[in-house]
Amino acid sequence: MSVIKVNHATKDYGHGRGIFDVSFEVKEGETFGFLGPNGAGKSTTIRHLMGFSKLDDGELSINGKNSWKSADNIKHDVGYLPGELAFPKGMTGDQFIEYMAKERQLTDMTQTKELKELFEIDSSKAIKEMSLGTKRKLAVVTAFMHDPKILILDEPTSGLDPVMQERFIQFVLKEKAEGKTILLSSHIFTEVDATCDRIAIIKDGVVVSTVEADELKQNTNKSFKIEFANFKDYQKFIKNTALTISVKRPKQNQVKLTVTDQKMQELFMELSEVKLKFISEIKFTLEDYFMDFYDRDKTVADGEENLQYGMH
């Protein structure tokens, strides 16, 4: 059963900004990754899913409830961690926690206490005096304090130090093991790779791919970085190969290429005709898959092709 449904969601802010015909579903007990750099449309989708804004077209729902029409009810069902933090003015962390507990009619504060200890937060300070990392931890505590069955997390580790980022990932994995339904929006590959069952990649407001995480991990294509013993052997391989080379670095006598299992024998037959300095296999990652869709810019200078991987 799908708990979260995004059906042809469109919000056009003009000048190419917004989201356009975005569709995906998150099944009960699934952790779904929503991957893309800042400005790709992740937060726009999530804000509409939470009922903060109304779509131009399409439909969004959580637990069968329309996101726009049932926004107040949905907020009680969901643990929501926003990408951009905004707190009431003049409150301490403790006062905000108490405020959120009353909003949710929460009397048992056991989970809250455990979360504060896990993320090592001093919530007695005024929120305006807290660092970004401490504010993020306060948002984490209040998002999870009522033990929600559905979690919507927008850039959840932004502002956290590496130790707390890893602690958060382990916490999400524990929530996942308990059967929670999780939508996790992020631009951090390791975070998505470590936690998600399925992943949607969004580019310029459009979902360009949805993939099972296991399919990526079991990918049979293999990438190799090869350096030849000299420029003569480099040229000979380049001239005679029937394989597709993705990167050529003549100054280093290097190439990079990806082959299927079926083409593996052909590769090594061709390499047997030249002298090598080294050959190394490059592990296929979520980042590699992402770069097939996003931000792969090729520039050629002095006969050398460089790949620039930029997250804007």
Residue 29 confidence class, pLDDT cut points 50, 70, 90:
very high
Task: Look at 47-56, 200-209, 257-266 and tell me which has the smallest mean pLDDT.
Answer: 257-266
pLDDT above 90: percentage of residues in the chain: 76
pLDDT for position 294? 58
What domain range includes position 257?
A: 220-283
- Domain final residue, candidates 166, 197, 213: 213
**CATH number of the CATH domain containing 198:** 3.40.50.300
Task: Tell whether 140 and 65 lie within a shared domain.
Answer: yes
Per residue in 240-260, pLDDT tens? 999 989 889 999 999 999 888
Residue 203 confidence class, pLDDT cut points 50, 70, 90:
very high
Query: What is the DSSP pairing of strand 57-62 with strand 65-66?
Result: antiparallel
* 42 neighbors 34 (Cβ within 8 angstroms): yes
- Domain annotation covers residue 295: no
Write phi, then psi, for 301 (nearest 5 degrees).
-140, 135
- Domain final residue, candidates 176, 194, 213: 213
pLDDT for position 311? 34
Which amino acid makes up residue 300?
A: V
- Domain final residue, candidates 184, 213, 242: 213
Write phi, then psi, for 101 (nearest 5 degrees).
-65, -40
* Domains: count for the chain: 2
Per residue in 147-194, pLDDT tens? 999 999 999 999 999 999 999 999 999 999 999 999 999 999 989 999
Look at residue 14 and tell me whether its pLDDT is greater than 90: yes
Pick from 158, 184, 172, 163: nearest CA to 120: 163
- Domain annotation covers residue 96: yes
pLDDT for position 246? 83
Mean pLDDT of 257-274: 91
**Residue carrying the six token digits 């979260």:** 4
Which amino acid makes up residue 44?
A: T
Q: How far is CA 131 from the centre of its chain?
A: 24
Task: Tell whether 132 and 244 lie within a shared domain.
Answer: no
Task: Tell whether 182 and 237 lie within a shared domain.
Answer: no
Pick from 103, 25, 30: nearest CA to 62: 25
Task: Tell whether 158 and 23 lie within a shared domain.
Answer: yes
Task: Tell whether 108 and 224 lie within a shared domain.
Answer: no
**Residue carrying the six token digits 């050398």:** 304
- Which residues pair with residue 10 across a beta bridge? 57
Task: Tell whether 77 and 124 lie within a shared domain.
Answer: yes
What is the pLDDT of the chain when averaged over all its residues?
A: 90
Q: What is the DSSP string of 102-119?
A: HHTT----HHHHHHHHHT
Q: CB neighbours (10 Å) of residue 227?
A: 16
Task: Tell whether 181 and 228 lie within a shared domain.
Answer: no
Task: Tell whether 54 and 199 lie within a shared domain.
Answer: yes
pLDDT for position 287? 82
pLDDT for position 251? 93
Residue 278 confidence class, pLDDT cut points 50, 70, 90:
very high
Task: Tell whether 70 and 185 lie within a shared domain.
Answer: yes
**CATH number of the CATH domain containing 231:** 3.30.70.260
Task: Tell whether 174 and 97 lie within a shared domain.
Answer: yes
- Domain annotation covers residue 307: no
pLDDT for position 100? 95
Tokens of 123: 């919530």
Look at residue 281 and tell me whether its pLDDT is greater than 90: no
